[in-house]
Amino acid sequence: MTRSDVQLMLDVKAGDEQSFELLLQRYRTPLVNFLYRMVRSREQAEDLAQEVFIRVYRAREEYVPSAKFTTWLFRIATNLALNSLRDHRYQKMEMSIDAPLTADAEGGDERPFEVADKHATVEQDLVEQERKKMIRRAIEKLPEKQRAAVLLHKYQELDYAEIAKILSCSESALKSLLFRAYEVLRVELAPLVRQGMK
């Protein structure tokens, strides 16, 4: 039988290192992806994800299962991501908006995991890449808190109450935050949205 996250964490607290390994295997991919979409750098996302796991490990002695494990985990991750973005804001301001983006920032890391269509032409591939680039840029344009809300809602599929706790806001404030984020995305992705509705 699969042990719940809380049970695993309580086992880690009791000194079972193997349970920590199971939590690592369970959450490393969602965590790295969430952080990657937040900070737009794979290397930085992995560094931050490591830090999240270390903080979880360090806090094992004091762990009390008062909330869902994912709430706690993504709360640590969100705070680290927001702090990291704040720290790097000055550097970002110095970057020209027209400067060529690196392969990392353009989602070059995502390519190896896409299923290659052997029959797709080079042109179709370029169109597809352009489409994904547009979606990524639309997410990037969102204010940080809206971005975190969208990522937790769409990719982690957490419920509203959980996301509200992670972002330290009320459930109604979260719904308003998500509504505003989707309004921005609707405008940014208008060409693709219209294309999809035809």
Partner 1 sequence: MMSCTRMESRILAYVDGRLKESERGDVEKHLAACTACRVRANEFRSVNDLLGELPMIVPSPAFDVRVRARVAAEPVKQNWWAWMWPSPRIAFAASMLLLAMLWVGYRSQPVVPVIPPEEADASLMQDISVMEDHDTLANFEPLKALPAPVDGEDSDHQM
152 touches 118 (CB < 8 A): no
Stretch that binds partner 1, among 70-78, 88-96, 161-169, 184-192 (CB under 8 A): 184-192
Stretch that binds partner 1, among 47-55, 73-81, 89-97, 119-127 (CB under 8 A): 47-55
What is the Cα–Cα distance from 192 to 185, expressed in whole angstroms?
11
Instruction: Give the nearer residue to partner 1 in terms of CB position, either 71 or 150.
Output: 150
- Name which of residues 149 to 168 contact partner 1 (CB under 8 A): 150, 153-155, 159-160
- Give the CA count within 13 Å in the CB-facing half-sphere of 195: 5
Site string for partner 1, 74-93 (x = CB under 8 A): --------------------
Regarding 49 and contact with partner 1 (CB under 8 A), the answer is yes
What is the Cα–Cα distance from 49 to 26, expressed in whole angstroms?
13
- Name which of residues 16 to 45 contact partner 1 (CB under 8 A): 17, 20-21, 24, 28-29, 32-33, 36-37, 42
Regarding 130 and contact with partner 1 (CB under 8 A), the answer is no
